[in-house]
Amino acid sequence: MAVRDATRDDVDEICSLIEEHAAYEGKDDLRLDRAAMAEHLFGVDPKAWVLIAHPDDDADAVAGFAFCWSTLSTWEGKPGIWMDDLFVRPAYRRQGLAAELMAALRERTDGRVEWEMREGNDKATAFYAQLGAVPVTGWVQYRWQL
């Protein structure tokens, strides 16, 4: 399996993957501005980065992605990664691509790799448990949105 860093040429696929992920989660109306996403990911001051996964048998096919940004833990005193999205297209599931994406993230930091997941997603819960990941207890997530 091939996992690589996304490039500006991947922006349309990245946006398509995000929109497909949103539809999978029940938000069918999400449509992203490709030019804005290109600026966010590959502009002068990038805000995030993306890993792209390809299946073994088709290096041109985009099977999935991990959408991330760097963090810095004050309590650990080291950098980590926040993974905002991990998504593998249905046709490519059960081939180890999600595990490959997660392994690639783990290789990029000796700090924390963190993410959130919707409650009740039993398949994701089982997958993350197989990796050795555990839920964070004792913390409440807040959002301040304008």
Nearest to 76 by CA among 102, 106, 109, 103: 109
Q: Is 138 left (phi over 0), alpha (psi -120 to 50) or beta?
A: left
Catalytic residue among 24, 92, 128, 142: 128
Residue 3: phi and psi, rounded to 5, are -120, 130
**24 among known catalytic residues:** no
Residue 43: phi and psi, rounded to 5, are -80, -165
Task: Give the integer Cα–Cα distance in Å for 93 and 86.
Answer: 12
Residue-wise over 38-58: b if at least 16 C-beta within 10 A, else e?
bbebbeeeeebbbbbbbbeee
Chain-centre distance for alpha carbon 53: 11
Q: Could you list the active site residues?
A: 128
